Amino acid sequence: MTNFTLSGSKNNKRRKVLLITPPYHCGVVESAGTWMPLSLVYVAGSLRAGGYDVEIYDAMSKFDEWPAITERIKHSAPDVIATGAITATINDCVQICDIAKSLDPGIVTVIGGVHANFCYQEMLENNPSVDYAVRGEGELTMPELLDYHFGGGKLSEVKGIAYRVEKQVVATPERLFLESLSGLPMAWDLIEWKDYTYRPTPNSTLAVVSYARGCVQACSFCSQQLFWKQGWRARTPDDFVTELAYLKSEFGVDVVMIADEAPTTDETAWRKVLDLLIERDLGIEILLETRVTDIVRDEPILDRYREAGIDHIYLGVEAGTQATLDRFKKNIKVEESKKALDLINQANIITETSFVLGLPEDTPESIRETVKLAKYYNPDLAFFLAIAPWPYADIYEELKPFIESYDYSKYNLVEPVIKPTAMTTEQVSKELMNAFKKFYMGKMAQLPNMTKFKREYMISVAKLLATHSYLADQMKGFGKMPKKVHDMLADYIGEKVSS
């Protein structure tokens, strides 16, 4: 562990850094809102603290395309361009570096994030336009890297980077995680707030925030436990809630998504977060993800979640059968998941979950069985995803013989890249779409029996599904709903429902 201290830029010119998001879209989580690049808010904050001029350009959220991105780079004329990559976005991140170098070979290019962390060797070997990979957390590494780059220091002394020396990729020793996540310098003022909204809440201003980093579990398909080395650290509850109050008063934020893998891990600290949120009564709607076991643990205080503003919880249920859960090393029981979802539903909080499908042994029947189980679990929202073989995940070796495509842009949990023994990937796609359709048809039929809050929410979701998502075509069958439900939806959604 190390402290957050920055020495300040060692060079005599104030350098300009353009932090940019890749223009990648695959339309699942994106349909619900426009989400800001929180990682860049952290990295920008620390770069500024280190004496750099910083701009954040969220090309992804602006739906800008390559010509607009090229113009923006020309216009900003930065000394450094840096971006963060997950596996699905790495090709676009590299393209940003290609463009930067074609405009001015002197621009220094950096890629951080989970993909760069694990795949820096391949990334640097194959892409001469990428100068540096930042591995692990970026807050200390990025300013230090630039200090050394521009100040002429020995790069081998900067922990947590990789780069090329005469075509050979060199990686420096790992950097230890930040000792404290409280009080980190944030660049919230560099965010163009008008771009960020949560669609189910009209006219809302949405922030993505973080209370804790990491997860102590070991799910075999997941990158996050590996990235955070199965550790877990949190800010102090007061530091976190004070930031929410600041975002509300300064920028009018009224919806926040907590980006963390498992914010509820430390029961005592989490209770304190809830207490402070209730005490300060911020009027902020909160969306979060957590673990089934923590919800079961918190059964006696779920009403306090609601009181604190939490109205949407995502649970990673992932599989319908115990055998698959065990195969994923998910460390939960089917009945526990059902209980956790029931408890959240009873607390009048929106429940969301996902199922990871398209495994080598999957068949049309097994996918249809999962839909039945999804209906039994009865979350408000369910996503049926295609497993992506992240090349660094524990399950990778098992999936490798079944990989049909090595195009990372398709590793987005939507496009199947694993070919099951008894299905084509086209069939997997079709079954996943049918799963969505069947699940949501069933869900809409429950509308009349829902609480007012859930009914209104589900209607706005139905509208998004019908008009704003990659599922739009699948949802045309809304017209086959019982008349009462159909009429209710038609009032809100218009002709899309009746087609």
Q: Does residue 131 belong to the site contacting ligand SF4 (CB under 6 A)?
A: no
Q: Does residue 291 belong to the site contacting ligand SF4 (CB under 6 A)?
A: yes
Residue of 11, 224, 293, 363 interacting with ligand SF4 (CB under 6 A): 224
Q: Pick the stretch among 39-47, 67-75, 306-314, 325-333 that binds ligand B12 (CB under 6 A).
A: 39-47
Q: Which of residues 371-390 bind ligand B12 (CB under 6 A)?
A: 390
Q: Does residue 217 belong to the site contacting ligand SF4 (CB under 6 A)?
A: yes
Q: Does residue 290 belong to the site contacting ligand SF4 (CB under 6 A)?
A: no
d(CA 147, CA 314): 40
d(CA 23, CA 14): 28
133 backbone dihedrals φ, ψ, rounded to 5°: -110, 135
Q: Does residue 425 belong to the site contacting ligand B12 (CB under 6 A)?
A: no
Structural tokens at position 348: 């009048």
Instruction: Determine the residue type at 255.
Output: V
Answer with the entry of ligand SF4, ligand B12, none that 327 interacts with (C-beta below 5 to 8 A by kind). Answer: none
Q: Does residue 213 belong to the site contacting ligand SF4 (CB under 6 A)?
A: no
Instruction: Determine the residue type at 445.
Output: A
Q: Does residue 214 belong to the site contacting ligand B12 (CB under 6 A)?
A: no
d(CA 446, CA 379): 12
Q: Does residue 222 belong to the site contacting ligand SF4 (CB under 6 A)?
A: yes
Q: Which long-range contacts (CB under 8 A, 24 or more apart) does 26-29 make?
A: 26/88, 26/412, 26/414, 26/415, 26/470, 27/414, 27/469, 27/470, 28/383, 28/385, 28/412, 28/413, 28/414, 28/469, 28/470
Q: Does residue 26 belong to the site contacting ligand B12 (CB under 6 A)?
A: yes
| DSSP output for 381-415 | EEEEEE----TTSTTHHHHGGGB----GGG-SSSS
Q: Which of residues 305-324 bind ligand SF4 (CB under 6 A)?
A: 316
Closer by beta carbon to ligand B12, 143 or else 309 = 143
Closer by beta carbon to ligand SF4, 139 or else 261 = 261
228 backbone dihedrals φ, ψ, rounded to 5°: -95, 10
Q: Diameter of the chain by CA atoms?
A: 72
What's the Cα-to-Cα distance from 121 to each of 76, 80, 356, rounded to whole Å? 30, 21, 29
Answer with the entry of ligand B12, ligand SF4, none that 112 interacts with (C-beta below 5 to 8 A by kind). Answer: ligand B12
86 secondary structure, DSSP code = -
Structural tokens at position 439: 């699940």
How many residues of this chain interact with ligand SF4, rule: CB under 6 A?
A: 9
Residue of 9, 15, 21, 355 interacting with ligand B12 (CB under 6 A): 21
Closer by beta carbon to ligand B12, 205 or else 486 = 205
d(CA 59, CA 76): 14
Q: Does residue 6 belong to the site contacting ligand B12 (CB under 6 A)?
A: no
How buried is 204 (Cβ within 10 angstroms: 0-12 exposed, 13-18 middle, 19+ buried)?
Answer: middle
If one counts every other C-beta atom within 10 angstroms of the C-beta of residue 446, the result is: 15
Q: Does residue 290 belong to the site contacting ligand B12 (CB under 6 A)?
A: no
Answer with the entry of ligand SF4, ligand B12, none that 30 interacts with (C-beta below 5 to 8 A by kind). Answer: ligand B12
The distance of closest approach from Cβ of residue 336 to ligand SF4 in the complex, given in angstroms and rounded to an integer, is 13
The distance of closest approach from Cβ of residue 219 to ligand SF4 in the complex, given in angstroms and rounded to an integer, is 3
Q: Does residue 225 belong to the site contacting ligand SF4 (CB under 6 A)?
A: yes
Q: Contact at 8 Å (CB) between 298 and 264?
A: yes
Q: Does residue 388 belong to the site contacting ligand SF4 (CB under 6 A)?
A: no
Q: Pick the stretch among 67-75, 150-158, 168-176, 220-228 that binds ligand B12 (CB under 6 A).
A: 220-228
The three-point CA angle 53-58-61 to 5° equals: 165
Q: Pick the stretch among 71-79, 222-230, 368-376, 456-464 that binds ligand SF4 (CB under 6 A).
A: 222-230
Binding residues (CB under 6 A) for ligand SF4: these are: 215, 217, 219, 222, 224-225, 261, 291, 316
Binding residues (CB under 6 A) for ligand B12: these are: 21, 24-26, 28-30, 35, 37-39, 42-43, 60, 82-84, 86-88, 110, 112-115, 134, 137-139, 142, 208, 210, 222-224, 259-261, 390, 412-414
